[in-house]
Amino acid sequence: MGKMNSQVHPASFRDPSGFLFHRKEVLYRQVNHSYQKEYELLNSSGLYVELVDKGWLVRHSEVDVEPELPALAYKVLRPELVEFISYPYEWSFSQLKDAALRTLAIQKRALKNGMSLKDASAYNIQFRDARPVLIDTLSFEVYHPGKPWVAYRQFCQHFLAPLALMASRDVRLNQLLRVYMDGIPLDLASRLLPGRTRLNFGLSTHIHLHASFQSKHASSGANGSRESAGMSQPALEGLIESLRSVIHGLRWKPKGTEWGDYYAETSGHYSDAASRHKMEIIEAFLDQIAPHSAWDLGANTGLFSRAASRRGIPTVAFDIDPAAVEQDYLACKANKDTNLLPLVLDLTNPSPAIGWNNHERMSLLERAPVDVVLALALIHHLAIANNVPLSRLADFFRQAGRWLVIEFVPKEDSQVQVLLASREDIFPDYTQQGFEDAFKPYFDVHSSVPIIDTARTLYLMERRNF
Amino acid sequence: MTFYIMGQLIEHFSNQRPYLDPSSGSILIQLLLAGLLGAGILLRTYWSRILKLFGRGKQDQTDDGEDE
């Protein structure tokens, strides 16, 4: 059959219209005969070209490749890839908001072209060049006037409920998406939202009333015989506009931080000279190894991530602080920093593999390795605040990437003193020598440079046996 | 009456066999909102036409999906 080394994508099984498969490390999408009519309309209506030209939908080419399941196959497509697959529980508030607005904008364009989104999953949106893009070409169905939006429930669960909770209750509640993979159940969202959200027309209808309709009519299934007028197209457009309007109105700004100079506040312990020197060392390391991809772990607002992204290196900037990631993302948008993707991540409990068979959404390390990992002003948080032994840190970084740019922050550093102020020092091995001894079994040290005005040292390491 | 309309819709849906469960309650609330929101859109359309008559019409709202 010539299908050696091919594998159906483990997350691609719900929609009978087609599926993704890998063959010889290339990703393809099989379109099934059952989707032929929709696929033809997507092209003939001009919707495909319009969305691709706007950058709202990934481009694909039709390829002459043997289908994975020939009996079902209509066509095989080769989609353009996004650099890094991220998930809604890793997005900051504005990333989820932009993904939601993009989904609605696509649905508006689809309706104007006689089609409609048949799903509105947040997992169908990815970030490419700092902008949200739909990656599922088979998400469109033929629009039948009178028909309500089949993906309305999903849209409210995947987008509106988490955004409302983040804006009105607590920004950390987007982490519920890690537990509820098909979005936050609306009855739960309704219970968690503050009472004042019932005074907001959009939230009161699309979440609170919606939730009560769902519970009241959960098992209704009466039969009718005549065609129903149902929901007119203006009414459906009104529904989409209402969702757009309520989402547009949701805002989140971090409390307790000066929005404008967030970075200055959190990095105040560096002198200007030290900060400049640190940047120079990192840039020299990057020029030396010329990586094709980078992760900045503990990136804060991405000051040093930009050393990589400015060089055209696709860079993911992870931080645990939703406020820092939010500011980083807004800066990326404002400056059109297309090589940088900021994401929220708790390194002490990184994103797990979740979903059916634990294979639908990848863990962090399943998305590794990258060419270079930056771990700047990070190690003391993991080793001292979180008690991870240095050798385990080395083992983790070894899995994450080939090259490692890591900053050792010794105990005499003021930031480590802050961490040790409230606890017993149970870290006798946390010394520069102990650090080198722990990392040497896993990495070859190519370079180490002390940062002026500090007790810190930057290392360039390469993982062994690569 | 509600059940009657819903029955028709569910029939309609079952002929089209969506692969997602749209959930009965989620269909019903859309129907409830339909009248309200459809009327809103019509009003807005006519209002913008009236404004245009007087040369005060706005460009179509941007819908590029990015806030601000």
pLDDT in tens, A15-36: 999 999 999 999 999 999 999 9
Q: What is the pLDDT of residues A54-104, one digit of tens each?
A: 999 999 999 999 999 999 999 999 999 999 999 999 999 999 999 999 999
A213–B29 CB contact, under 8 Å? yes
- Say if the Cβ atoms of A106 and B65 lie within 8 Å: yes
Q: Which residue in B33, B15, B40 sits closest to A148, CA to CA? A: B33
Residue type, A442: Y
Q: Using CB atoms, pick whichever of A17, A238, A248 lies closest to residue B38.
A: A238
Question: Which residue among B19, B25, B40 sits closest to A217, beta carbon to beta carbon?
Answer: B25
Kindly state whether B49 is in contact with chain A, defined as any CB-CB distance less than 8 angstroms.
no
Q: What distance in Å separates the CA atoms of residue A460 and residue A407, rounded to the nearest whole number?
A: 9
Is B15 in the A-facing interface, judged by CB distances under 8 Å?
no
Q: Which residue of A has its CA nearest to B12?
A: A227
* Least reliable range by pLDDT among A140-149, A225-234, A241-250, B54-63: B54-63
Which tokens belong to A128?
């490419």
Chain B partners within 8 Å of A144 (Cβ): 16
Q: What is the pLDDT of residue A261?
A: 52
Mean pLDDT value across residues A418-431: 91
Query: Any idea where the domains of chain A sit in the sequence?
Result: 6-37+46-79, 88-215+230-249, 262-463
Homologous superfamily (CATH) of A262-463 is Vaccinia Virus protein VP39 (3.40.50.150)
Identify the pLDDT of residue B13.
47
Q: ipTM strictly over 0.85?
A: no
User: With 80 as the cut, is the pLDDT of residue A236 above it?
Assistant: yes
Gap from A304 CA to chain B (nearest CA, Å): 26
Residues in A touching B27 (Cβ below 8 Å): 148
Inter-residue contact A118 to A138 (CB < 8 Å)? no
Our CA angle for A297, A303, A304, nearest 5°, is 55
Give contacts of A103 with chain B, Cβ < 8 Å: 65
Interchain contact, A214 vs B4, CB within 8 Å = no
What is the DSSP code string of A56-112? SB--EEE-----SSGGGEEEEEEEPPPSS---GGGS-HHHHHHHHHHHHHHHHHHHH
- Structure confidence at residue B68 (pLDDT): 39
The answer on pLDDT for A119 being more than 90 is yes
Burial call A333-358: b when 16+ CB within 10 Å, e when fewer: beeebebbbbbbbebeebbeebeeee
Q: How far is B48 from chain A (nearest CA, A)?
A: 15
Q: Collect all residues of chain A within an 8 Å Cβ-Cβ radius of residue B37.
A: 235, 238-239, 241-242
CA atoms of A121 and A40, how far apart (whole Å) = 23
Percent of chain A with pLDDT over 70: 93
Nearest Cα neighbor of A135 from A280, A265, A22, A20 is: A20
A369 upstream amide cis, omega within 30 of 0 = yes
Q: What integer pLDDT is reported at residue B44 of this predicted model? A: 77
Mean pLDDT of A244-262: 76
B6 contact residues in A (CB cutoff 8 A):
217, 220, 222
Q: How confident is the model at residue B58 (pLDDT cuts 50, 70, 90)?
A: low
- Which residues, listed in sequence order, are joined to residue A27 by a DSSP beta bridge? A22
Q: Which residues of B touch A221 (CB under 8 A)?
A: 10, 24
The answer to whether B20 contacts A148, with C-beta atoms less than 8 Å apart, is no
- pLDDT, tens only, B1-40: 444 544 454 444 444 556 777 788 999 999 989 877 767 7
Q: Does B24 touch chain A (CB under 8 A)?
A: yes
Structure confidence by residue, pLDDT tens digits, A193-225:
999 999 999 999 999 999 999 998 876 653 333
pLDDT band at residue A462, thresholds of 50, 70 and 90?
A: very high
Indicate which of B33, B45, B47 best probes the interface with A, i.e. most A CBs within 10 Å of its own CB. B33
**pLDDT at B47 (0 to 100):** 82
B53 band by pLDDT with thresholds 50, 70 and 90 = confident
| Disruptive mutation site among A95, A113, A204, A228 for chain B (greatest number of B CBs within 10 Å) | A228
Closest partner CB to B41 (pick from A146, A147, A234): A234
Instruction: State the smallest CA–CA distance between residue B6 and chain A in angstroms.
Output: 7
How far apart, in Å, are the Cα atoms of B40 and each of A139, A332, A344, A378? 28, 36, 38, 53
Lowest mean pLDDT among A7-16, A442-451, B44-53: B44-53
